[in-house]
Structure 1
Amino acid sequence: MDVVKIALAKGRLADDAIVLLQKIGINFSDYSKKSRKLIFIDDSKKIKLVFVKSSDIPVYVEKGAVDIGIVGKDVLLEKQADVYEILNLNIGKCKICVAGHKDYTMNYSKKLIVASKYPNVAKNYFNKKGVFTEVIKINGSVELAPILGLSDVIVDIVQTGKTLEENGLVVKEEIHDISARLVVNKVSLKTKNGNIGRIIDGLESIV
């Protein structure tokens, strides 16, 4: 029987996803949060968990290195990979937002400088609004960009808003609700339809 490979990124989202898998009878007895292993096989020897960087999950799924990915909608919006987005798992909920200084007023009559870990999301959002932008890709603490004068605003994930508040920033506009999604490789859905279908049906029944 073909093994189904599922890609996850280590962290809270993976922990929540593993709980969902356990609820539908897929258990990984050898899995440990502290382990440096990148691949785990379930107790039935039919499912493999593969841990990769979150931003790489759509690539692994699209190229068929894994069959299934569990990844945030923010990553899917940014990467725009050619995969089937099958199911909203309703975990890892947050929003992707435009944020800036409390006293900053959004001015669309001049070029807007935007810093973000999600340059494609940012550019697409403002392009649809007809706003001329310069988008700067930031990999680290994006909140620093408006504080240090690198950008007018940022586009980033907001969960509680506490990080923004502590750095004197506020949400200016909400772009998209974010949660974890189940994505599937297009070929795998045909060649491993029975096994993948059971996983999809199981998860759909509990979310």
Structure 2
Amino acid sequence: MSLIKLGIPKGSLEEATINLFGQAGWQIKPRSRHYYPEVDDPELSCALVRAQEMAPYVANGTLDLGLTGLDWILETQAEVVEICALTYSKSSNQPSRWVLVVPQDSPVRTVKDLEGKKVATELVGFTRRHLAEQGVAATVEFSWGATEAKVVEGLVDAAVEITETGSTIRAHGLRIVADLLYTETRLIANPAAMDDPAKRTKIEQIATMLQAALAARHKVVLKLNVAAGDLDAVVALLPSLHAPTVSHLYDGRWLAVETVVDAQAVRDLIPRLRAAGAEGILEFELRKMV
């Protein structure tokens, strides 16, 4: 019997989550028409669960651990332990946001202007509470999908919808009035599981390795050779967690330098390093960084 029952979000985050676990060291293999993927760890069992339902299943002990968005934790108000934030998705590494959208020609300019209006959203509970906090009385109805289309067709006055860039919203001829919530994936645990020493140790192991895998996605290792006389100029260009590692080559006039840098900086950094005298520059991807 497995020690930890893990919930994998089914749907848009499924593949990205399985890939993240793979980088962290766990191979999870979905099975056709099956809600229980295989995993290469006898202490784990997996279940595919919709992100919207994850927090309640973790809260009631059906699952010990799961991944879901902050939005669905707030929506369900489930009593779970938030272990850590994990910012990743199928398309970007930026948090998504729930926004209030209206037609371009709508008189609605602020949340306060929703008084007496009709709003469609999947995030019904959160939206109702947010409007109540603003002192706004509006009708909030659940949308099963195609929420933006309901605004376009005039079925509702506004919608609260999730987006990353806002490009799809603009493509539909809609206008973003306000950001209501920034959300990202959370690793959540059942409170009773966290009180169990064995389960807590396993959960903390999983959290550490997932965070290490995500941190590594933004960094690369650079290795290079440099003549002793050019060392100071080259090292001055190199950002590092602490300081670059420098070691002597067999030819005492040359040194080997190794450091970790931001992946996005490499395209500008390598030409500058070469101009400063660096040779044999190599770039390596990281799998994990703790």
TM-score (norm 2): 0.65
Query: Could you list the per-position Cα deviations for residues 77-133 of structure 1 after superposition, in whole angstroms to 9, with x for gaps in the alignment?
Result: 211111011111011331111001011132636423211111112112222222121
Whole-angstrom CA distance in 2 between matches of 1:171 and 1:149 = 16
The answer on whether the counterparts of 2:2 and 2:45 sit within 8 Å (CA) in structure 1 is no
d(CA) in 1 for partners of 2:153, 2:37: 43
Equivalent residue for 2:177? 172
Cα contact 1:62–1:186 (8 A) shared by 2: yes
Q: Is the 8 A contact 2:35 2:48 kept in 1?
A: yes
- CA–CA separation in structure 1 for the residues paired with 2:63 and 2:41: 18
Deviation per residue, 1:9-37 (Å, 9 max, x gap)? 22341222222222222122xx14x7221
Structure 1 residues 113 and 79: CA distance shift in structure 2, 3 A: same
SS at match of 1:9: strand
Give 2:205's aligned amino acid.
R
**Alignment check: 8 A CA contact 2:2 2:42 kept:** no
- Residue in structure 1 matched with residue 38 of structure 2 by the alignment: 41
1:118 matched to which residue of 2?
A: 123
What one-letter code is carried by the residue in structure 1 that aligns with 2:163? V
Structure 1 equivalent of residue 232 of structure 2: none
- How much is the aligned-residue C-alpha RMSD, in angstroms? 1.9
Q: Distance in 2 between matches of 1:137 and 1:10?
A: 21
CA contact (8 A) 1:146 1:152 kept: yes
Superposition deviation, residue 42 in structure 1 = 1.7
* C-alpha distance in structure 2 between counterparts of 1:61 and 1:39, whole Å: 16
Query: Does the aligned pair in 1 maintain the 2:99–2:180 contact within 8 Å?
Result: yes
1:141 is the counterpart of 2:153: no
2:239 corresponds to which residue? none
Percent identity between matched residues is: 25
- How far 1:154 moved relative to its partner? 0.5
Choose the corresponding residue for 1:60, options 28, 49, 57.
57
Of the three residues 99, 102, 108, the one matched with 1:100 is 102
Q: Which residue in the other structure is 2:168 paired with?
A: 163
Structure 2: distance between partners of 1:23 and 1:102: 43
After TM superposition, the structure 1 stretch with the greater mean CA deviation from structure 2, 159-168 or 56-65, is 159-168
Is the CA contact (8 Å cut-off) linking 1:57 and 1:71 kept in structure 2?
yes
By how many angstroms is 1:46 displaced? 1.7
Aligned residue number for residue 200 of structure 1: 207
- CA offsets, 1:52-97, max 9 Å, x none? 2221111110111111111112211211111011111011331111
Deviation at 1:2, TM superposition (A): 4.2
Give the aligned residue type for 2:182: D
2:2 & 2:202 partners in 1: Cα distance?
A: 8
Report the secondary structure of 2:18's partner residue. Answer: helix
Taking the aligned partners of 2:5 and 2:164, their CA distance within structure 1 comes to 29
SS of 1:120's partner is: helix
Structure 2: unaligned runs, 5 residues or longer: 90-94, 215-290
Distance in 1 separating the partners of 2:3 and 2:189: 14
